[in-house]
Homo-oligomer: A and B are copies of this chain.
Amino acid sequence: MRQVKVLGLLGTGVIGGGWAARALHLGIDVVAMDAKPQMESWIRGAVENARAALSRLTLAPLPPEGKLTFTTDLEVMARQVDFIQENIPEQIELKQRVLAQASRVAPADVVIASSTSGLLPSDLQRDMQAPERLLVAHPFNPVYLLPLVELVGGRATSAAALDAAARFYTEIGMHPLRVRREVPGHLTDRLQEALWREILHLVNDGVASTGELDDAIVYGPGLRWAGMGTNLIYHLAGGEAGMRHMLRQFGPCLKWPWTKLEAPELTEALIDRMVEGTQAQAKGRSIRELERLRDEYLLATQQVLKQFDLGAGATLRALEERLYERSGRSAVPGLDAASAGAGGPVRMLDTYVRPEWIDYNGHMSDSRYLQVFGDATDALFRWAGVDDAYRKTGRAMYTLESHVQHVAEAKALEPISVATQVVELDAKRVRLHHSLHRRRDEAVIATGTQLYIHVDTRGGHAAPFEPSVHERLEGLRGAHAASPS
């Protein structure tokens, strides 16, 4: 089978466009064929759209982008390519006819792969010449970002064709999953389809809306499925005894009407197969190790989703807003006193040096000083009225400069606190002075100043503070005027 330098696309819908974008990005030329000439501008648009995302997939040095050409002539395409990916509508007779036609033109060492969601390769290769190079290679939307591709061979498919296809898909950054037996829907769509049909039943029976059913996944199991599948997750749910315990505990539920899908009988042979499978997946890692890994990616994924205000990230963001709001009123009581003229720096933050903040010298990393100062700044600004609701009106505080001076070292788990003063203020700018203390003896570990500007984020320019915000900051400045940095 050939080394793939030119990929031919048979059909150019959403899936075809996704294949084109991915292959071009990884340096493969693409010849896209569609009987409708208007699809040329469509697929060029799709590639262009995908490029914005793809350009941020990796910083590794990429080969030069491939070239895209378009034709309405199947034979022109099939004659000049090293690999053909078919993406036409899910109609068996249509696919059979078109694949047979392509196979009469493309040399026998050109692999022909079908993107079919669920048709069987043995049916697809029926009328083909050199049917041994036909296989199913089923991708997922968006094809340019999701790595999964299911590879399924039919009765006539050769091992060489499957191997060549796996090499090609790996080359363009995908994860080829070899499916050992032809079944309608392959593997992934069988699992998705079971879930999807249960959704349709629940909506049909008036039990829940589509949004509620999506929430039922996104805020819970969906977050786990980004990193671990149901089997490994259930292995963890079983505690130290893993999958075997889990099946003992939840086995009876398989007889309960928890879905309209009837389960197979939980025989000893099936239990053994489930246990052996998950033990192989665990690769010798203990339940505790796998739990730690799970917790790590759940934490990190929630931080990511928080930026997009999506699912579990939206919940976390809302929690934080409430916590900040609460602390803005009560946990930093010194602010109210200071703004009322009590004077002096206000203790904004009590925390401790987290173990992951430590550098190779055994001290808190430089960047973490700015992090705790930033947390103190956030608390102060929130108190002054600059919170999420304020930012949603198109105004925000941007940092102009930061200066940190180190006096002593902070070690892991050491309790620390930050005290903050307003040292300069005008209509648009405010300068804060922070000092970081070791709580044990109040020794100063570092000091810092930061200059902030109030910005109209829609206009993209500096803008005066809202009067109420300015007034609160002014109250603090007045109080601190006698004790500058």
Which of A56-64, A70-78, A102-110, A464-472 lies at the binding interface?
A56-64
Identical copies of this chain, number: 2
Complex CA distance for A40 and B56, rounded to whole angstroms: 49
- The residues of B that contact A160 with a CB separation of less than 8 Å are none
Within 8 Å CB of A323, what residues of B?
Answer: 58, 60-62
Q: Which of A179, A223, A232 has the most CB of B within 10 A?
A: A223
Contacts of A351 in B (CB 8 A): 59
Chain B residues within 8 Å of A161, by CB: none
CB distance from A326 to the nearest CB of B (A): 8
A126 at the interface (CB under 8 A from B): no
**B220 x A222 contact (CB < 8 A):** no
Residues of B within 8 A of A177 (CB): 212, 215-216, 219
Complex CA gap A128/B230 in Å reads 36
Which residues of B have CB within 8 Å of A225?
Answer: 217-218, 221-223, 225-226
Identify A280's interface contact among B146, B190, B209, CB under 8 A: B209
Contact B59 A189 (CB under 8 A): no
Task: Evaluate contact between A200 and B263: CB separation under 8 angstroms.
Answer: yes
Given A211-B277, A223-B226, are A366 and B370 neighbors across the interface (CB < 8 Å)? Answer: yes
Query: What is the total number of residues of chain A having a CB less than 8 Å from a CB of chain B?
Result: 185
Q: Is A482 an interface residue (CB 8 A)?
A: no
A301 at the interface (CB under 8 A from B): yes
CB under 8 Å from chain B, chain A span 186-245: 187-234, 236-237, 239
Is A270 interfacial (CB-CB < 8 Å)? Answer: yes
Query: Across the interface, which residues of B come within 8 angstroms of A318, CB to CB?
Result: 170
Nearest CB in chain B: distance from A314 CB, A: 8
> By the criterion CB–CB under 8 Å, are B196 and A197 in contact?
no
Task: Specify which chain B residues have a CB less than 8 angstroms from the CB of A117 in the assembled complex.
Answer: 250, 253
> Contact at B219–A148, with CB atoms within 8 Å?
yes
Is residue A93 contacting chain B, with contact meaning CB distance below 8 A? no
Q: Please, what's the 1-or-0 string for A244-283, where 1 marks a CB less than 8 Å from any CB in chain B?
A: 0000011011101111111110110010011001101100
Residue among A181, A356, A405 with max Cβ neighbours from chain B (10 Å): A356
* Interface flag for A101 (CB, 8 Å): no
Report the minimum CB–CB distance from A176 to chain B (whole Å). Answer: 10
The answer to whether A147 touches B219, judged by C-beta atoms less than 8 angstroms apart, is yes
Residue of B nearest to A303 (CB): B356
A375 beta carbon closer than 8 Å to chain B: yes
Closest chain B residue to A312, Cβ basis = B147
One of B148, B217, B307, B457 near A358 (C-beta < 8 A): B307
Residue in contact with A388 in the complex, picked from B55, B206, B360, CB distance below 8 Å: B360
- A360 — which chain B residues lie within 8 A by C-beta? 388, 391
Interface residue A168 (Cβ < 8 Å from any Cβ of B): no
From B252, B304, B379, give the contact of A356 (CB < 8 A). B304
Asked if B146 and A185 make an inter-chain contact with CB atoms under 8 angstroms apart, the answer reads: no
A270 to B204, CA, bound (A): 6
- Near B by CB (< 8 A), chain A positions 298-315 give 298-305, 307-308, 310-312, 315
Nearest CB of chain B from residue A378's CB, rounded to whole Å: 8
Q: Can you report 11 residue pairs joining A to B where beta carbons are below 8 Å apart?
A: A14-B237, A60-B324, A146-B224, A173-B315, A179-B212, A187-B212, A193-B253, A209-B280, A300-B308, A366-B371, A401-B404
Q: What 6 pairs between A and B have smallest CB-CB spacing?
A: A214-B229, A210-B277, A222-B225, A148-B220, A185-B258, A60-B323
Instruction: Kindly list 10 other residue pairs between chains A and B, CB separation below 8 angstroms, not including A59-B350, A209-B280.
Output: A140-B220, A146-B298, A175-B312, A179-B207, A181-B206, A197-B254, A200-B263, A218-B228, A222-B225, A300-B304
